[in-house]
C-alpha cells in the first residue's frame, strides 16, 4: 500500500497533546449554587446527586468549596421564604439571593453571576406576571410587557448586592433592553449581562425544578421558551439580544443543542455560554449508578464536546468534579 496520508501518525501519546484542537480548563466552568431561605441546614437534592440546597448563612462555605476545586465562578439561584403572584421577593433588599451575594462577595474572591427570573419567586411558578384567566385558558401565560419592569428591578437589586454579572433567563421579549436600561440608570453600566438568549422549552430541566422549587403550578412554558424543533429561530432571538446590549450569549440546554451553540459561535463574535443542565447531569449519574458508563469519563467528554462546539463558558453541575480532574 502506498499511503501518503496516515492520520494515525498524529495519534501517538507524545504528539496527541501537541495537536489537540480543544482544551478544557477549570476557568471555563461556572458552578451553580442553590441558596434556600427556608432551611437551616444543607439539604440534598435527590434528583441531582452530589448537590444540595444550602441556607443563606452557609452560602460562603459552599462557594469556598467550589473555589477549592479551581472553579472561579458561580451562578446563584435562590429559594425564597415566601412567594406571591408577582414574585416580589425576587427584588427585595433582604431577599435570599441579595443576602447570599453580599456575603459571598464580601468573604470570597468568586466571580458571582446571578440568575434573574421570577419562576422561583411566584406562587404560580411562571417566569413573570401571568395574564388574567391564565389558569383557565391554556393559550395564555406570562404578560410579557408587565414583567419587564420587575426583571429590571430584580437585576438592579442583585447588582446593588454585589453581583459581578447578571444572567436573565425568563425568555421575555425585550428583557435585555429593559435590564440594560435599569442597570445603566442606577450606575451599573459596567455590569455585564449574560443572556439566556436561546432557551428551549426542554424536558431536560426536570431535576432543576426540584432543586429550585420552580415548577409551574399550571400549564407549561411553551409560550415563552423556544420550540425544540427550531434552530433558525435561535439566531433571530440571539440577534435581538445583541441589539439590546447582551454581553454574553447563552444556549440552554447544551448537549441536545450543540448545533445551536455552533451556529451562535459562527454568527456572532460575542462570548458564547452553554448550560449543561440538570437532566444532562442526572442521566449520566443514573447510567453510572447502573454500571453502564464511567461517570468521570463521560462527564469530561460531555463538557469537552460543548467546548468544541464553540462555548467559551460552560455552566455545569459537573464543574467541581471535572475541575479537580483537570
Active-site residues, by number, are 199, 252
| 253 DSSP assignment | S
- Cβ(90)–Cβ(84) under 8 Å? no
* Nearby residues of 27 by Cβ (< 8 Å), 6 or more positions away: 70, 72
From residue 276, give the alpha-carbon distance in Å to each of 92, 280, 304.
29, 6, 11
Query: For residue 299, which of 325, 265, 274 has the smallest C-alpha distance?
Result: 325
Whole-angstrom Cα distance, residue 224 to residue 311? 24
Please give the grid coordinates belonging to residue 77. 439561584
How many Å separate Cα 266 from the centre of its chain? 21
- Cβ(251)–Cβ(275) under 8 Å? yes
- Cβ(210)–Cβ(237) under 8 Å? no
Whole-angstrom Cα distance, residue 290 to residue 137? 43
CA-based max dimension of the chain:
75
Q: Is 212 helix (H, G, I), strand (E, B) or coil?
A: helix
Query: For residue 126, which of 112, 139, 141 has the smallest C-alpha distance?
Result: 141
Whole-angstrom Cα distance, residue 318 to residue 307? 14
Q: What is the radius of gyration, based on Cα positions, of the chain?
A: 20
Amino acid at each position: 500500500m502506498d499511503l501518503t496520508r496516515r492520520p494515525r501518525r498524529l495519534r501517538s501519546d507524545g504528539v496527541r497533546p501537541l495537536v489537540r484542537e480543544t482544551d478544557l480548563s477549570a476557568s471555563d466552568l461556572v458552578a451553580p449554587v442553590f441558596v434556600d431561605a427556608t432551611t437551616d441546614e444543607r439539604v440534598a437534592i435527590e434528583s441531582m446527586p452530589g448537590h444540595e440546597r444550602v441556607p443563606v448563612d452557609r452560602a460562603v462555605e459552599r462557594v469556598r468549596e467550589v473555589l477549592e476545586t479551581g472553579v472561579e465562578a458561580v451562578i446563584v439561584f435562590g429559594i425564597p421564604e415566601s412567594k406571591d403572584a408577582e414574585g416580589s421577593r425576587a427584588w427585595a433588599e433582604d431577599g435570599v439571593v441579595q443576602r447570599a451575594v453580599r456575603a459571598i462577595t464580601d468573604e470570597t474572591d468568586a466571580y458571582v453571576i446571578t440568575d434573574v427570573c421570577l419562576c422561583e419567586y411566584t406562587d404560580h411558578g411562571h417566569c413573570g406576571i401571568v395574564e388574567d384567566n391564565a389558569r383557565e385558558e391554556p393559550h395564555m401565560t406570562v404578560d410579557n410587557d408587565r414583567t419587564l419592569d420587575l426583571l429590571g428591578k430584580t437585576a438592579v437589586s442583585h447588582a446593588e448586592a454585589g453581583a459581578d454579572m447578571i444572567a436573565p433567563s425568563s425568555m421575555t421579549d425585550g428583557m435585555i433592553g429593559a435590564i440594560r436600561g435599569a442597570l445603566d440608570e442606577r450606575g451599573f453600566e459596567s455590569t455585564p449581562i449574560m443572556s439566556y438568549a436561546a432557551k428551549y422549552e426542554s424536558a431536560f430541566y426536570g431535576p432543576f425544578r426540584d432543586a429550585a422549587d420552580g415548577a409551574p403550578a399550571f400549564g407549561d412554558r411553551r409560550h415563552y421558551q423556544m420550540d425544540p424543533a427550531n434552530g433558525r429561530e435561535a439566531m433571530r432571538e440571539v440577534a435581538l439580544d445583541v441589539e439590546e446590549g447582551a454581553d454574553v450569549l447563552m444556549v440552554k440546554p447544551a448537549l441536545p443543542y450543540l448545533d445551536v451553540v455552533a451556529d451562535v459561535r459562527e454568527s456572532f463574535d460575542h462570548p458564547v455560554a452553554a448550560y449543561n443542565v440538570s437532566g444532562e447531569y442526572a442521566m449520566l449519574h443514573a447510567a453510572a449508578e447502573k454500571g453502564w458508563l464511567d461517570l468521570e469519563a463521560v462527564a469530561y467528554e460531555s463538557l469537552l464536546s460543548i467546548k468544541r462546539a464553540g462555548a467559551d463558558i460552560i455552566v455545569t453541575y459537573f464543574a467541581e468534579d471535572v475541575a479537580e480532574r483537570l
